[in-house]
Amino acid sequence: MPSTATPAIRRAYVAMLIGCVMILVAGPSYAKDDIGRVKELFKRLEGRWKVTSAEVSGQKFESDEEWSFVGGNYTWSDSKRKLRGYASINYTWDPHQIYFHHEHSSVTGPIETGDVRNWDSGIYKLSDDGETLKVCLGLLPSKEFATTKEDKRRLYVLKRVKADAPVK
């Protein structure tokens, strides 16, 4: 800082340095909290889910798709294909944002990182009882669980698949 700086500039500079030090010191604890929060959100999604309602660009369609989550990994499968990869969550949005990073397709094989088919993003909401999952996917961020003819979004409603009853 130049010696000709005014007292106000010096105070601002010192405040900026203190802020940077606080971020460096506190940052790892915030990151740890973030990781814990995201792990908890994925834990709530764990298991198998059956698509009960699907819509693309405002048009309903039949789907035999099933999704499953294990940790941050997912699999989407239907009668024609299986897609798997890992997901990430941004819980600072309401509703939460979810990003699906596709790694492998049973139709095309491995999916390269730069491939346009490599990802899907959108929003999701889990019901209070944890049995219904709504996911709206599209190219542009949205805060609404809806599709229109122009937006090319996909809206899914999924129900948790109950585990088979134990054999007696």
Per the structure, how many domains does the chain have? 2
Residues 38 and 67 in one domain: no
Same domain, 133 and 83: yes
Q: Is 168 within the bounds of a domain? A: no
Per-position pLDDT tens, the chain of length 168: 555 656 655 555 554 544 444 444 444 434 445 778 888 999 999 999 999 999 999 999 999 999 999 989 999 999 999 999 999 999 888 899 999 998 988 888 887 766 666 788 999 999 999 999 999 998 776 789 999 888 889 999 999 998 744 444
Is residue 73 domain-shared with residue 144, that is, in the same domain? Answer: yes
Residues 26 and 78 reside in one and the same domain: no
- The encoded tokens of residue 80 equal 């024609």
Q: For 102, which DSSP code? A: E
* 111 inside domain: yes
167 within domain boundaries = no
The DSSP secondary-structure symbol of 118 reads G
**Does any domain span residue 129?**
yes
Give the Cα separation of 154 and 146 in Å (integer): 8
Is the preceding peptide bond at 95 cis, omega within 30 degrees of 0? yes
Same domain flag for 70 and 146:
yes
Which residue bears the tokens 């000709």? 4
Residues 126, 146, single domain; the answer is: yes
pTM (predicted TM-score): 0.74
* CATH number reported for the structural domain that contains residue 83 in this entry: 2.40.128
By 3-state DSSP, what share of the chain in percent is helix, strand and coil, each rounded to 5?
25, 40, 35
Q: Same structural domain for residues 140 and 81?
A: yes
The verdict on residue 62 lying in a domain is yes
What domain range includes position 106? 46-160
Determine, yes or no, domain membership for 166. Answer: no
